[in-house]
Structure 1
Amino acid sequence: MAVNDSQKEKSALRRRRRWRQLLGAVVCLLVVIGLVSVVSGGVRLTATLFDDSELKAEYVLRLRNLVALDPVPFDSIEEANQNTLLNALIWSSISEDKDYERDEVGAMYLPTADIDTAAAELYGPDVHFTYQTFEDRGLTYQYVEEKQAYLLPITSVITDYYPQVEKIKREGDTVRVTVGYLSQFSSGTDFSPDMQYAPVKYQDYLFHRDGDKTYLYAVTESKMKPAASSSASASAPAVQAPQEVLDNIAGSLPAAPSSSSQSTPAE
């Protein structure tokens, strides 16, 4: 009996040892899984914290109409070409949700109040423009004082470039946005929506931080330079932006009466 009892105790001891080993293995596996989860979660969190793709997209939307007109660099809004700034603001102000008044040939009246709103969003609430008839890029924008509105040309909008935000850097109260200028003809081939276009030049757009908002106040030459093949294209004559950009601008305009179709494109 003593021998049997001893064997039973040894068997029970071996079973308990196996269970402890199995339990230890399970615990170790769970620890490893936990560590992997923590590390991968940390990597994802870090990637999320440093992912500024949404912010870049926001700056593209804010700057695309100004970049399209290729403004001459300036140190302050007062020193900038006011016609270029106003031209860009006009096309930024148009909303497809509004039913704009038109003249007898289908040209649209854009209220200056809408331009004031767009100017405040991009340049800040303290920036104001003097409204009067002006010409820019061969087109005339007639100011109609009694309507407090601009009578917009009904010819096509010609643009040079489309923006690609390369990087965003904070420098104290300034946010430096480095913008690459994309041209659909820089590749020397026909436009394709699937083609990747290299910037032909770069400019830095400087924004002043005011709380959680930023306002553009200067444009300067960037230290970032294009590849040799792209820089050669930069000296070429100005070209149109990608067709999708023109389509977006044209699509934002309310439908004009059929009489407007008689107009001819700008030279």
Structure 2
Amino acid sequence: MVNTTFNRAAPQTQLFPVPAFTDNYIWLLSRAGHAVVVDPGESAPVEAHLAQQHLTLDAILLTHHHGDHVGGALALQKNTGARVYGPATESLPVCDQRLREGDAVVLENLDLHLEVLDIPGHTAGHIAYFGPFNQGKHLLFCGDTLFSAGCGRLFEGTPAQMLDSLGKLRALPLDTLVCCGHEYTLANLRWALQVEPGNAVLHQRWASAQEQRAKGLPTLPSTIGAELDINPFFRTQQDSVSRAAAAHIGQRLDSTLAVFTELREWKNNFK
């Protein structure tokens, strides 16, 4: 578990990836004794962290309806009284305030103002939360839409929807901390190296991620800037990526959407 802090003068906002299940992260932000959690697939690890750190849970943020992201929300609400926020159009076990793009979540105790983005693709109503975090940096909770060196499978959406959603995230500030829902980085990097074997930054990230995991450390959060250098799904307009996708399928790909669609299919079947 890591503790990412940036502001040493004012009360610090701390960011923790709380491990859950096999490879999930439940993201927890805390400040001055208050906390918010994102996508609590189970309640026990969150409750243990709250008790250990003597924190009051103010809010629960949900990005999409999958059980490994919402399974602990009801128990946490019952045990803490925290307010639950979630996507407007998805079926959730509990939700006090439904959100869509243009809405915001304001948590004064944590000095957070998070904008809501609609990012369908992985699920039909998937949302993300984005906002400033300590000394001018930014924070993104993107659920299962964006991963380090990867993106989510298309369970309910279309390639065009996912490409548009990733375009929104790609345009965020380069310093934005990317808080993904799973520790998929090594598997994604293995595939990304097949797409761009000549990408030196990608090789460096592969080495550093292996070292992090060998020490039992998370590879997350990433940043938008880092993903622009290593993530094939962010790099569909790069010649090296489009050529690799075309070579893999054995035919010309005449649009960014076609490149993205082939990349997603390639990743789906990559072992």
TM-score class normalised by the smaller sequence: under 0.3
TM-score where L is the length of structure 2: 0.25
**Which has the larger strand fraction?**
2
Please identify the structure whose Cα radius of gyration is greater: 1
Higher RCO (C-alpha under 8 Å, 6+ residues apart): 1
Relative to its length, the structure with more helix (as a share) is 1
What's the TM-score once normalised by structure 1's chain length? 0.26
